[in-house]
Amino acid sequence: IGNNASGTRSVKYGAARDSVLGLKVVLPGGRLVELGTRTRVASTGYPLERLFVGSEGTLGVIVEATLRYVPIPKFRCLGVANFAKLEQAGESITAVMASGCQPSMLELIDKVAIEAVNRAQNLGLPEVEAILLFEADGMVKEAVDFEIERISGICAEHGGFGIEYSYDPAEQARMSAGRKKLFPSLSKFAEALASTALADDMAVPYSHMAECARTIHEVAERHGLVMTAYGHCGAGCMHTKILMDTSRGDQWQAARQAISEIYEFVRRVGGTTSAEHGIGISKAGQFQKEKHGLLDLMRAVKAVFDPNGIMNPGKLVEAPPDWLEAGPLRYHVEDA
Ligand SMILES: Cc1cc2nc3c(=O)[nH]c(=O)nc-3n(C[C@H](O)[C@H](O)[C@H](O)COP(=O)(O)OP(=O)(O)OC[C@H]3O[C@@H](n4cnc5c(N)ncnc54)[C@H](O)[C@@H]3O)c2cc1C
């Protein structure tokens, strides 16, 4: 709740904010307040509970939450499609989202991620520019069948191949193994490269997902870095990892420049700095650029709830704009 987390199924079920009906919060002075309601609808003044979701501990301490539940679907069908070109996957994402289908998952895996899991796990995934994982779920099997066939058909219309889908958990585990084993695989991509979570989380309108991944690859290459681009593409959520030699000072400078260029692209297409991980320190500079016209209002909100500035100080609006200078790195840098 503190950072409005979401995940692979946010394309259908939303982020934490969509599930929070009410909160109990202790304000910095010790006052306990109850925010929100237990009802599905409310039009009762400012929805302060929504303000606290994603506030990253900067306003008060959440001590209780009332959540909206949804029933667990009886049927889940997972599918996969391979694309020679990133743009074909991008067109499929847009077409699926515009089709009226409600996928419960739509995940993009890029060529760097594919290479990483093939190297580390020997999975034998096709060496293509993009793989889409898609899922439909529901209480009625015929409805799930209809959606999964429609999504598969859309992928095929846009050049997808090797398309398959299954209700069988063992088959689903096989199809999603690449995505599940991605993080440890990235760490083993190359002996000298560490997988760093720097510009690791952003969101763009889903119609720009392929362009965003392409931009990330181009920027990384120009700066002598390796970057992967993957994410919950139906929700427009893009994750990256920068694979770099963390002992080299020039790689950190390159990473800083690459991140800056990637976020310029994100803002240009109407995207936002963080999809689900929050701002903290490392994304503060980009967040402050994106919200530059609103920082005075955000500071004023912070001052109302936390006049003495004791709640998670030095984050969000208060964070230093340059993460590289913000504090000691947890890596040893030889020529820093
Ligand atoms: C490998 C990995 C994968 C991840 N994948 C995802 C993903 O798929 N989706 C996603 O959304 N995120 C993902 N994350 C990031 C994830 O969102 C956060 O790590 C997680 O949500 C933080 O939860 P936590 O309980 O550890 O909270 P913390 O890290 O303790 O806190 C998160 C924020 O909430 C604030 N906070 C904590 N407790 C309170 C409280 N009681 N009241 C008010 N504020 C509070 C903190 O100050 C902080 O700003 C991933 C992280 C990792 C390391």
Tell whether 232 and 304 lie within a shared domain: yes
Does residue 202 carry a pLDDT above 60? yes
Residues 11 and 48: beta-carbon distance below 8 Å:
no
Distance 287 CA to ligand 1 centre (A): 18
Tell whether 41 and 120 lie within a shared domain: no
Tell whether 290 and 243 lie within a shared domain: yes
pLDDT at 171: 97
CATH number assigned to the domain comprising residue 85: 3.30.70.2190
Tell whether 37 and 116 lie within a shared domain: no
Distance 20 CA to ligand 1 centre (A): 16
CATH number assigned to the domain comprising residue 25: 3.30.465.10
Does residue 134 carry a pLDDT above 90? yes
The verdict on the CB of residue 58 being under 6 Å from ligand 1 is no
Does residue 54 carry a pLDDT above 90? yes
Question: Which of 3, 11, 179 for mutating ligand 1's site (highest number of atoms within 8 Å of CB)?
Answer: 3
Tell whether 244 and 266 lie within a shared domain: yes
pLDDT band per the 50, 70, 90 thresholds, residue 327: confident
253: phi then psi, degrees, rounded to nearest 5: -65, -40
Distance 195 CA to ligand 1 centre (A): 19
Distance 75 CA to ligand 1 centre (A): 29
Distance 316 CA to ligand 1 centre (A): 15
Whole-angstrom Cα distance, residue 127 to residue 114?
A: 7
Whole-angstrom Cα distance, residue 244 to residue 309?
A: 36
What amino acid occupies position 181? K
Domain boundary residue, one of 46, 67, 88? 67
Residue 272 DSSP one-character state: B
Domain boundary residue, one of 42, 67, 92? 67
The verdict on the CB of residue 49 being under 6 Å from ligand 1 is no
**Residue of minimum CA distance from atom 14 in ligand 1:** 277
pLDDT at 227: 97
Q: How many of the other CB atoms lie within 10 Å of CB of 180?
A: 12
Ligand 1 atom with the shortest distance to the CA of 6: 11
Question: The domain containing residue 16 runs over which residues?
Answer: 10-67
Tell whether 112 and 173 lie within a shared domain: yes
pLDDT at 108: 97
Tell whether 26 and 112 lie within a shared domain: no
pLDDT band per the 50, 70, 90 thresholds, residue 325: confident
Task: Look up the ipTM and state it.
Answer: 0.94
Residue 336 is assigned to a structural domain of this protein: no
3-state SS, residue 96: helix
The verdict on the CB of residue 12 being under 6 Å from ligand 1 is no
Sequence-ordered list of residues with C-beta below 8 angstroms from that of 264, at least 6 positions apart, any chain: none
**Residue of minimum CA distance from atom 37 in ligand 1:** 2
Q: Could you tell me what percent of the chain has a pLDDT over 70?
A: 99
Tell whether 238 and 261 lie within a shared domain: yes
Residue 333 is assigned to a structural domain of this protein: no
Whole-angstrom Cα distance, residue 161 to residue 150?
A: 15
CATH number assigned to the domain comprising residue 277: 3.30.70.2740
Going through 70-224 in order, the beta strands assigned E by DSSP cover: 75-83, 105-110, 130-138, 161-166, 194-196, 201-203
Whole-angstrom Cα distance, residue 289 to residue 244?
A: 26
Residue 311 is assigned to a structural domain of this protein: yes
Residue 334 is assigned to a structural domain of this protein: no
**Residue of minimum CA distance from atom 4 in ligand 1:** 277
The verdict on the CB of residue 61 being under 6 Å from ligand 1 is yes
Q: Could you tell me what percent of the chain has a pLDDT over 90?
A: 94
Tens digits of residue pLDDT in 18-43: 999 999 999 999 999 999 999 989 99
pLDDT band per the 50, 70, 90 thresholds, residue 334: confident
- pLDDT, mean of residues 167-174: 97
Domain count, the chain: 3
Residue 87 is assigned to a structural domain of this protein: yes
Query: Mean of the per-residue pLDDT values for the chain?
Result: 96
Tens digits of residue pLDDT in 74-87: 999 999 999 999 99
- pLDDT, mean of residues 1-19: 96
Residue 109 is assigned to a structural domain of this protein: yes
The verdict on the CB of residue 7 being under 6 Å from ligand 1 is yes
Residue 331 is assigned to a structural domain of this protein: no
- pLDDT, mean of residues 227-253: 96
**Residue of minimum CA distance from atom 47 in ligand 1:** 57
Tell whether 164 and 203 lie within a shared domain: no
The verdict on the CB of residue 5 being under 6 Å from ligand 1 is yes
Give which of 32, 191, 203 is closest to 119, Cα–Cα. 191
Sequence-ordered list of residues with C-beta below 8 angstroms from that of 256, at least 6 positions apart, any chain: 322, 323, 324
pLDDT band per the 50, 70, 90 thresholds, residue 336: low
Ligand 1 atom with the shortest distance to the CA of 25: 42
pLDDT at 163: 98
Does residue 313 carry a pLDDT above 60? yes
Domain boundary residue, one of 44, 67, 90? 67
